[in-house]
Amino acid sequence: MQELTHYLGGAHVNGTSGRFADVFNPATGEVQAKVPLASSEEIDKAVEIAATAQPAWGATNPQRRARVLMKFVDLLNRDMDKLAEALSREHGKTLPDAKGDVQRGLEVVEYCIGAPQMLKGEFTDSAGPGIDMYSMRQPLGVCAGITPFNFPAMIPMWMFAPAIACGNAFILKPSERDPSVPLMLAELMEEAGLPKGILQVVNGDKAAVDAILHHPVIQSIGFVGSTPIAEYIYGTGCANGKRVQCFGGAKNHMIVMPDADMDQAADALIGAGYGAAGERCMAISVAVPVGDETADRLIDKLVPRIEKLKVGPYTAGDDVDYGPVVTAAAKANIERLVQSGVDQGAKLVVDGRGFSLQGYEDGFFVGPHLFDHVTPEMDIYKKEIFGPVLSTVRAQTYEDALSLAMDHEYGNGTAIFTRDGDAARDFANRINIGMVGINVPIPVPLAYHTFGGWKKSAFGDLNQHGPDAFKFYTRTKTITSRWPSGIKEGGEFNFKAMD
């Protein structure tokens, strides 16, 4: 049985709390490792190391900091297969999905190589008589990130890459469900030339989170997870004077207009609804066809595609469309919500209940489900299922469909499939959701734009990555300077005037 560690001050360090969590192989249900759960004293130690290392790193010029990230990108590409295999082994997602996880994080690192440009301040010459005014962006100090299980490579890199590029030290508290890849990333950052103590990984549960929230030295906290926990972290962190950004749950709608290419829409829903077993905050979990005829056509296209989906372990390679969910508890929650949909009157068109895979009977596999005639009062509509379950809510008009997405408490992502430019433009302008796709089912912005939802999907006034990241991880300082003139009439320099 492997016993994992923390990563402090450039070294793997055994946990001292005496508490551990199981790390499962989701395909077999077996415990494959133990991960230590940090105490508040271990968080204190990590902060002490970070606070000692940060001033020298903050004083390092941005170009030299960017060179470390350049080398880190090379190392990520070198170890892509190794990282993806470790990620799949603990999370369960297929190897192509795992590589995509690393790749989307890598792209943010590439963007952060532009730190010298992003950190430039402003300058006004002669703002007044003999007065110049300029601003500079300076690091916060010690920052922390609390990241979820579903993207154990991407989301940590979305946080620590800009934080470190800005000159901060960073303490990462990853999910205890799949902690190996974050530890590997810390090793690669130091191989790239990052000074010891600037990036540290502390594994833990709520005790570690609370220690981070209340630690007086930690200046900022990033979080991605469920909305109830996002609200808790945001409220507690802000009350303790920290800069906080939290991203919570989602219920992403995809509106299918009568004029849409139905094959294109169906293919999009298969990938967006069932890819990665639906364990994505940007997954499409609600299809909203406009009109019963559109709904019937869409269902007819979806059913044969769903029935052909192959579910299995990542070791099966390209023969698998998606793998198991992350834990037995996650599987049980999905099955409970599916049953609630049946009990509350939705039509289960494709029934994935009772799915079992020969040789992997103890794995956390969930078959694909498709519901029709779902209504907004049902639990499967209101709650984030985070599994391979697609709900179809029939709307009679475009306005009805728009209202469904706008009235839901979550506002992470949404999409519309149509050939009508006017409808698409109206949808993009009116929808109260942070990320919008037009004939694109999962509208995750590229690294040089920002990622973030609205309503109960996000808390804080700045998004992840893109220009917002450099604002979040720095403070602006504005300097007004005036130098007494030492020049006499006629051009002779008067040194006494400078005394």
- Residues classed as catalytic: 281
Dihedral Cα 222, 384, 176, 354, nearest 10 deg: -170
**Two tokens at 116?**
């010298």
Query: 33 to each of 7, 53, 177, how far by Cα in Å?
Result: 16, 31, 10
Q: Residue type at 176?
A: E
**Two tokens at 433?**
């959701």
The Cα 484–Cα 323 span in angstroms is 71
Q: Are 364 and 370 contacting, i.e. CB atoms less than 8 angstroms apart?
A: no
The Cα 365–Cα 297 span in angstroms is 29
> Where do runs of H (alpha helix) occur along 92-153?
95-112, 115-118
Q: What SS3 class is residue 196?
A: coil
Our measurement of the distance from residue 166's CA atom to the centroid of its chain's CA atoms, rounded to an integer in Å, reads 19
Q: Are 174 and 202 contacting, i.e. CB atoms less than 8 angstroms apart?
A: no
Strand 218-224 relative to strand 199-201, pairing: unpaired
DSSP 8-state code for residue 381: H
**Two tokens at 98?**
């795992």
The Cα 302–Cα 169 span in angstroms is 48
Query: 488 to each of 125, 158, 491, how far by Cα in Å?
Result: 22, 56, 6
Q: Are 484 and 139 contacting, i.e. CB atoms less than 8 angstroms apart?
A: no
- Any long-range contacts for 189-193 (C-beta under 8 Å, 24+ apart)? 189/68, 189/72, 189/160, 189/164, 190/10, 191/71, 191/75, 192/68, 192/69, 192/71, 192/72, 192/74, 192/75, 193/67, 193/68, 193/71
The Cα 273–Cα 282 span in angstroms is 9
Buried b (16+ CB within 10 A) or exposed e, 125-154: eeeeeeeebeeebbbbbbbbbbbbbbbbbb
Strand 454-455 relative to strand 410-411, pairing: antiparallel
